[in-house]
Amino acid sequence: MASHAGRAYPAGDESEGSSDEWDLGHPRTSPSRTSPSHYKTSEVDEDVENDVSRLKQAISTSDIQTVEQLLDKGKCSPHDQGVDVETRLGFKWTPLMCAVNLANHDMAKLLLDRGASANFSKDHYTVLMAGCTASSSEDAIVRCVELLLSRHADPNAGDR
Report pLDDT for 56: 94
Residue 84 CA to residue 98 CA, distance in Å, equals 15
Each residue's pLDDT tens digit, 8-63: 656 656 666 655 544 434 444 444 444 444 444 555 567 778 889 999 999 999 99
Residue 120 CA to residue 136 CA, distance in Å, equals 22
Q: What percent of the chain has pLDDT over 70?
A: 66
Contact 102, 11 (CB under 8 A): no
Residue 69 CA to residue 74 CA, distance in Å, equals 9
pTM for the model stands at: 0.69
Banded model confidence at residue 90, pLDDT cuts 50, 70, 90: confident
Report pLDDT for 91: 87
Contact 97, 55 (CB under 8 A): no
- pLDDT, greater one: 14 or 143: 143
Residue 151 CA to residue 105 CA, distance in Å, equals 13
What are 126's strand-pairing partners? Answer: 121
Contact 151, 131 (CB under 8 A): no
| Residue from 123, 59, 60 nearest 69 by CA | 59
Residue 7 has pLDDT above 70, yes or no: no
Cβ neighbours of residue 14 closer than 8 Å, sequence gap 6 or more: 56, 90, 91
Report pLDDT for 27: 43
Banded model confidence at residue 106, pLDDT cuts 50, 70, 90: very high
